[in-house]
Amino acid sequence: PHQCIVWDWDSNGKHDFIGEFSSTFKEMRGAMEGRQVQWECINPKYKVKKKNYKNSGIVILNQCKIHKMHSFLDYIMGGCQIQFTVAIDFTASNGDPRNSCSLHYIHPYQPNEYLKALVAVGEICQDYDSDKMFPAFGFGARIPPEFKVSHDFAINFNEDNPECAGIQGVVEAYQNCLPKLQLYGPTNIAPIIQKVANSASEETNTKEASQYFILLILTDGVITDMADTREAIVHASHLPMSVIIVGVGNADFSDMQMLDGDDGILRSPKGEPVLRDIVQFVPFRNFKHASPAALAKSVLAEVPNQVVDYYNGKGIKPKCMSEYESSRTVVP
């Protein structure tokens, strides 16, 4: 049975208890056939104290609807594709790649900090991405041939097709492009968030759960365009997308914690709150010696709920549910 408690709401937060009643789901379903269901609302204190006490009022249920919440697995099995995009920070604060102290150090035999983070996190994400093709971008560098600063260039230098085959493809594109770039700045991440948001907003026209976008940003720290980034995240919170930020190196990442929204609701500079929390921040230094499972849990912990929140909030059911659901309802 369900225990139902009735309060009189007060704006100052000191709500007054009126009474309670218990009911069953079966009883409540009675209201689905168009008839009213009612219960006496009882205050146990009055019942004991007052001799002629009948009840503190009657609770009437006029209508009852059953709303099915679908799970992350329902959407994936229904054919929803998770599309990962990778974005790498090529700002000068990372240090000159020819210097062994640089997070982008070009070492002949071992991976630098960015490669370690890219491979560790990317291999986890790869399992969720069905086509294993990753659009990969860089930001904060001057790029050939004109050496203008760009905040959303394809690291394979093919703007028409920025996709790399698997995480290994991203690694190779990264290694090839690094010597050709001039690390620069500032650290602006709003342009890359907007780029993925454009793809995600095209997806909203389909009105079905077919593609969900995840942007994986690897950065060494302090963001320069914080106001624009907050604006971009608030906009993106209305779209089928999430952002995972991996902090590389030992910088102060307190700004990132703010974007994560776990400490309070993130708002745009105009004060508009995010519709749902879509940013997950992970400082890679905490997982350097941890198991891949611990890293996986931290990186992807919030993704399933974010996918479900988005589609359930929009009232979008999983695609071809019928075959999958029928196979799930087999009686043992």
Query: Is the same domain home to 167 and 88?
Result: yes
Query: Is the same domain home to 53 and 112?
Result: no
Q: What is the pLDDT of residues 234-269, one digit of tens each?
A: 999 999 999 999 999 998 888 888 888 766 789 999
Alpha-carbon distance 115 to 248, whole Å? 10
pLDDT band at 13 (very low <50, low <70, confident <90, very high): confident
- Residue 332 pLDDT > 60: no
Residue positions counted in the chain: 332
One DSSP character per residue, 204-249 reads HTT-SSSEEEEEEEEE-S--S-HHHHHHHHHHHTTSSEEEEEEE-S
Quick one: pLDDT at residue 177? 97
Q: Which two tokens stand for residue 34?
A: 């168009």
Quick one: pLDDT at residue 215? 97
Quick one: pLDDT at residue 12? 86
- Please say which residue of 40, 61, 82 terminates a domain: 61
pLDDT band at 329 (very low <50, low <70, confident <90, very high): low
Share of the chain above pLDDT 90, in %: 69
Other residues' Cβ atoms within 10 Å of the Cβ of residue 188: 20
- Residue 140 pLDDT > 80: yes
Is the peptide bond between 186 and the residue preceding it cis, with omega within 30 degrees of 0? yes
| Mean pLDDT, the chain, integer | 90
pTM for this predicted structure: 0.80
Quick one: pLDDT at residue 194? 98
Please check whether residue 328 lies inside any domain of the structure. no
Domain encompassing residue 26: 2-61
Query: Is the same domain home to 51 and 165?
Result: no
Query: Is the same domain home to 41 and 163?
Result: no
- Residue 108 pLDDT > 90: no
Query: Is the same domain home to 111 and 142?
Result: yes
Q: Is 93 helix (H, G, I), strand (E, B) or coil?
A: helix
Quick one: pLDDT at residue 174? 97
Which one-letter DSSP state was computed for residue 79?
A: T
Which one-letter DSSP state was computed for residue 109?
A: S
Q: What is the pLDDT of residues 18-62, one digit of tens each?
A: 999 999 988 888 888 778 899 999 999 999 999 899 999 999 999
Quick one: pLDDT at residue 64? 85
Please check whether residue 332 lies inside any domain of the structure. no
C-alpha count within 13 angstroms, C-beta hemisphere, residue 47: 12
- Residue 322 pLDDT > 60: no
Higher-scoring residue by pLDDT: 67, 280: 280
Quick one: pLDDT at residue 287? 87
Query: Is the same domain home to 26 and 82?
Result: no
Query: Is the same domain home to 192 and 109?
Result: yes
- Residue 225 pLDDT > 80: yes
What CATH number is given to the structural domain containing 162? 3.40.50.410
Quick one: pLDDT at residue 328? 53
- Residues 125-148, mean pLDDT to the nearest whole number: 93
One DSSP character per residue, 35-60 reads --EEEE-B-HHHHHH-TT---S-EEE
pLDDT band at 147 (very low <50, low <70, confident <90, very high): very high
Quick one: pLDDT at residue 68? 76
Please check whether residue 233 lies inside any domain of the structure. yes
Query: Is the same domain home to 38 and 80?
Result: no
Beta strands in 14-147 (DSSP E): 16-23, 37-40, 58-61, 81-89, 133-139, 141-143
Q: Which two tokens stand for residue 47?
A: 């019942």
Please check whether residue 25 lies inside any domain of the structure. yes
Query: Is the same domain home to 115 and 17?
Result: no
Nearest-CA neighbor of 91 among 147, 148, 141, 154? Answer: 141
- Residue 324 pLDDT > 70: no
Query: Is the same domain home to 32 and 105?
Result: no
Please check whether residue 320 lies inside any domain of the structure. no
pLDDT band at 66 (very low <50, low <70, confident <90, very high): confident
Query: Is the same domain home to 57 and 81?
Result: no
Other residues' Cβ atoms within 10 Å of the Cβ of residue 36: 10
- Residues 171-176, mean pLDDT to the nearest whole number: 96
Please check whether residue 67 lies inside any domain of the structure. no
Query: Is the same domain home to 7 and 54?
Result: yes
Quick one: pLDDT at residue 331? 52
Please check whether residue 211 lies inside any domain of the structure. yes
- Number of domains forming the structure of the chain: 2
